[in-house]
Amino acid sequence: MRRTIVAALAAAAIVLGTAGCGASPAAVTPPVPTESSPPPVPPTPAVDVPVTAATPAPARQPVPPVRVVAASIGVDMPVVPVGVEPEGFMELVEDPAIAGWYRFGSDSAASEGNVVISAHVDSPDYPIGPLSRLRDLSAGAEIEVTDAAGTAHRYAVASVTYYPKTELPVDALFARSGGRALVLITCGGEYDPAVGRYTDNVVAIATPVS
């Protein structure tokens, strides 16, 4: 192996030596343009390549809903953004006359996901709330949600369902991707004084009306 490497290096030295010694100065000097020679033409791109900014597009700012109206059951409520309670439940305004929009989900102007709006059915210090009539919504009834930009978004009721609280399909109702829908939630069923809550949830799902 060593003899092969030595032989290869020797051959390379011979090639380099003969190239340096055997070439005349005229043979290695690049031609010099004369005054009559045309100037070199810069290359022309064969394909135009668009340039896109490397910075990511700014995140879309949600437009909170501020009002929900279901005229067929006499519901006309202000809506405020809400979050999550320490126990993991969706936060709700104490006054049943004010609905809460789940601010970590989609808004009415979003291209996908569910707009979740909820309110208490009643409260010890307030009269019974408008969403106590949610169970009376009929299929096809119109619901209108107005956002902070003043845009009214119309929906048609697709279903009204009672769920035991332990069986509420939270992942599906609070989905932030997939098809667009409006989800209205309140309490229903029997009141359980032992835990201070109703046994069920009443859920109305409505789809956008173009």
What's the CA gap between 113 and 55, in Å, rounded?
Answer: 26
For residue 28, the 8-state DSSP code is H
Query: What pLDDT was estimated at residue 149?
Result: 96
Residues 65/108, Cβ–Cβ less than 8 Å:
yes
pLDDT averaged per 10 residues, the chain (length 210): 38 34 36 56 59 68 96 98 90 96 95 96 93 96 98 98 93 95 95 87 95
